[in-house]
Structure 1
Amino acid sequence: MFDIGFWELTIIAVMGLIVLGPERLPTAIRTIRGWVRNVKQFSNTVQTELKEELRIHELHDNLKKAEQQGLKNLAPELQESVDSLKAAAEQANRPYAKDTDSTPKVTESEVKNDK
């Protein structure tokens, strides 16, 4: 990434030892390591979000093309995008689907008993 070799790292370590001293050097190294970890994590998050946004944009464009063709005789990549969007829509609607079997059934005798 920065093209730092062994000798450059050695010089940085010696300078850090001279400037910070042996007591504060481990704390400084841990702090820098934490910063680097946070920057990498942020970078990975941004990269993942950008890939997802590009994927969504591509699916949107493919859906527009498919609608222009009337959703018939689609190219394989367009058909795959449409199928992917349909699957995502079904998955999103699944928690909201009404389950008729889970509704309690009330009989006339229960209604009369409640009165």
Structure 2
Amino acid sequence: MFDLGWTELLVIGIVALIVVGPKDLPGMFRTVGNFVGKAKGMARDFSKAMNDAADEAGVRDVSNTFKKASNPIGSAMDEVKRTAKEATDSFTQDTMAGPKKSRLSEERQAQADKIRQKSAEAAEARLAKEAQARADAEAAAARDAAPAKAAKTAKTTKSTKAAKDQPAGSSSEDKA
């Protein structure tokens, strides 16, 4: 506003300290601060009143027309953005409307249903394959376990028979 730097403010402060005195200096700064605040408030009110008057008179419309005339590409891009926003808004309203659906959304719904059906069929086939693989693995484990069990049973039978053949007081350690 007055374009004062730090050095100028320092000089003003020193002069005010000498002229006014250290006792009355805080009161003077408070008064100056209130005055500056009131001046800024009045300037803000004046500026707002001028802008309101300009809006009522249609100056903003004239300035937009000048802007469009001086920058046709920018104004064309503004129109493209506005149109795109309107299209996006109308599409959002159509999809959110519920029972009132457009043809495009019906086609998308049909495609989504087909995709869900194919996914469900693929999942069922995968689960069936996994169940078959588990059953095959259990059958193979049972087949592998049967000869091992038979061998273990035969071994247990031989050791039981050998124990019956030995006299009651002797053991296999005594013979060794």
Q: 1:38: how far off?
A: 0.2
2:38 aligned with 1:34, yes or no? Answer: no
Unpaired stretches in structure 1, ≥5 consecutive residues: 63-115
TM-score normalised by the chain length of structure 2: 0.33
Distance, in Å, in 2 between the alignment partners of 1:2 and 1:38 is 16
Corresponding residue for residue 54 of structure 2 = 54
TM-score normalised by the chain length of structure 1: 0.50
Distance, in Å, in 1 between the alignment partners of 2:42 and 2:5 is 26
Corresponding residue for residue 12 of structure 1 = 12
Corresponding residue for residue 44 of structure 2 = 44
Distance, in Å, in 2 between the alignment partners of 1:2 and 1:45 is 20
Letter in 1 for 2:56: I
Aligned-pair identity in percent equals 31
TM alignment of 1:103-114, pairs within 5 A: none
Corresponding residue for residue 3 of structure 1 = 3
SS in 2 for 1:23: coil
Letter in 1 for 2:52: E
Instruction: Tell me the C-alpha RMSD between the 2 structures.
Output: 1.7
SS in 1 for 2:4: coil
Structure 1, residues 46-101: CA drift from partner, whole Å, max 9, x if none? 10011000000107x88xxxxxxxxxxxxxxxxxxxxxxxxxxxxxxxxxxxxxxx
Distance, in Å, in 1 between the alignment partners of 2:50 and 2:40 is 15
- Runs (4 or more) in structure 1 with deviation over 3 Å come to none
Q: 1:36: how far off?
A: 0.3
Q: 1:2: how far off?
A: 1.4
TM alignment of 1:34-113, pairs within 5 A: 34-58=34-58
Distance, in Å, in 1 between the alignment partners of 2:37 and 2:57 is 30
Q: Which has the higher contact order (CA 8 A, sep 6+)?
A: 1
